[in-house]
Amino acid sequence: MQQTRIPETALVTGASRGIGRAIAETLAAEGYRLYLTCKSSETDLTQLSHRLSENYHVECTPILADMGDARAVDWLFSQIPDLTLLVNNAGISHIGLLHEMSVEEWQRLMNVNLNALFYTCRLAVPMMLKNHAGKIINISSVWGNVGASMEVAYSASKGGVNAFTKALAKELAPSGIQVNAIACGVIDTQMNGSLSMEDMELLRNEIPADRIGQPEEVAELLLVLLHAPSYLTGQVITLDGGWQA
């Protein structure tokens, strides 16, 4: 008698737009049961979930949750019975001189970009340990590798993501759980929407690939990581068209 295949389950944070949205679509095409979150774009998230369910015949649950709030993340995980893949994608940016940044702005950015990884992983890891398998993929930035003027807080948070990824990978490797990160270069997302066309053109001219990256390319790389050998863990893989290589 043929057994029915139980779909793998993924949580994608910051899924209503950009990179998170592209990742959600890619995972739906792979047959994943999805939990998708965002902080406030309820209509966009709900519409995306309905479309993915209809197009790919997968269960897709949209949940509004502030990933920078530990209590909100606890509540989120109370609705998830099992998890095989965690994609920490939610993030915010801040451009400006460090000495003009308020304490509240610093704390908010760190909560969303870095502390959220602790909030999610401490709850996801026990689920994965139970199955002796699982994957955690964190979306980072090239600024976490090299730092950026006028983006000190953002760079610090993504540097923390990279260190968090490497350390947790060592901790979980004996249990068969892979932890990796994708350090993105300039990707065509709303986060970069504040840049003028002139600024984007100057950036493009600096990139050896001579173009801006697309969210779908991040999702394609994530798919590669999902099918990579189990020996691949603790890696921060840069996707930037050769820009900061």
Which residues are known to be catalytic? Answer: 154
DSSP strands (E only) in the chain: 9-12, 33-38, 60-64, 85-88, 134-141, 177-184, 236-239
- Residue 203 CA neighbour count, 13 Å, CB half: 17
Alpha helices in 102-193 (DSSP H): 103-110, 116-131, 143-146, 152-172
SS3 content of the chain, % helix, strand, coil (to 5): 50, 15, 35
The alpha carbon of residue 215 and the mean position of all alpha carbons in its chain are separated, in whole angstroms, by 11
